Structure 1
């Protein structure tokens, strides 16, 4: 006599409670949001420093954007970078301080996420603004205070070159202080340096502004500040 097989029974587990589903969904969204935040901060943070060509004041900036599509998701935040020399030049009216919306800003450093910083030619000027003497004081601030009349044409030349983007020529103007004693002669010497490079930067139509190979300056060499580059006390 054939015997029939026992019927199979299917055991059904207890259904997942609704609160558990909500909890798991919330944790999943939190993990996704946390991952997105980390990615944005690591690869979408944009930061750097700038210098105003007219007043020589500096500031840092920071904002966030979504990587790849570069959609900004956080407004730009600016923070001033204090420098006693720049402050003295402004209060002494040795440089002009335009209205906020009229200032010309040039990038000193710029970075994006973890990719590192890129440095521009304005860093050459910054090194002079931050140069210190044997007493750990700002060397060019001391010289400016000691030589207010000579300082006027010197800093005028510096800002003129900065406005033109000719930062690699600024050391040539500052080096004039090594032998400067007469205001008129210094003014003429500064004007000669400034006009020579600005004319090359803005040629007449149909003419190339590209300098000859032996006239080009290497920013790395111009950026070096030695003891000879610091102002000579009069």
Structure 2
């Protein structure tokens, strides 16, 4: 009986996948075994780094390794005999993994267009940290056709602000005004002079309790600090990164 159970665990109980941390831009694979059907984990999770040179480039250029916070987002999960399940972070990681002629495409692009990279990657980090992976492909597509950094930054600011605003307005309809006000704050970081967004934010704040207003102030201060650091760091034009050995 014990041998049958062991066989079932080894053959049917394997679980593996990958995770991504948008605060440090690290990736890691994981695996463990569980008892099939009941899903009880029977060994500790084993993890190994899978961070590529693209992520290392972004880490170094934006000084993300100095960040102490961690928040692992699911990239993929495989539980036998089911198929792979992709998490939202896969939308970003799949793009970063693309290679052309054996080289990471976005690493090569960043080195070729350093002024555009200084605009793109802080914006990507912002969206990833807020789990807005669905909007990242649009930013990457815009980067491909961009030629001027100033125009590109203006376009990205408008795109991201519009996305946050739409999400905020959806929360207003659900009477979730604290979340809505927080999303309006994110939108205003990218378009600080947008009077319509300011008015919408004010309307949401008017519906908050004093405790919620205090929480909103704390959230805004933290977000403004981290967003500003990202913009100030930018992407170093002198940075070089080697392809990892395969």
Please give the range of the TM-score, normalised by the shorter of the 2 chains.
Answer: 0.5 to 0.7
> What are the superposed Cα offsets for residues 33-83 of structure 1, whole Å, 9 maximum, x if unpaired?
221111122333221111112333211111222233332211111111131
State the TM-score, normalized to the length of structure 2. 0.63
**Match status 1:183 vs 2:183:** no
Which structure features the higher share of helix residues? 2
2:94 match:
127
Q: Distance in 2 between matches of 1:54 and 1:87?
A: 13
The answer for the alignment partner of 1:51 in structure 2 is 20
Tell me if 1:107 matches 2:82. Answer: no
- Structure 2 residues without counterparts, runs of 5 or longer: 176-246
Larger radius of gyration: 1
Q: How well do the aligned residues superpose, as a CA RMSD in angstroms?
A: 2.4
Q: Provide the residue aligned with 1:116 in structure 2.
A: 83
Q: 1:41-190, aligned counterparts within 5 Å? A: 41-93=10-62, 98-99=67-68, 102-133=69-100, 135-190=101-156
Mapped partners of 2:172, 2:148: distance in 1: 40
Q: CA deviation at 1:161?
A: 1.7
Find the partner of 2:3 among 10, 26, 34.
34
How far does residue 97 in structure 1 lie from its aligned partner after superposition? 5.3
* CA distance in structure 2 between the partners assigned to 1:40 and 1:207 by the alignment: 47
How many residue pairs align between the two structures?
175
Distance 1:49 1:206, change over 3 A: same
- Specify whether residues 117 and 192 from structure 1 end up closer, same or farther in structure 2 by C-alpha distance, changes over 3 A only: same
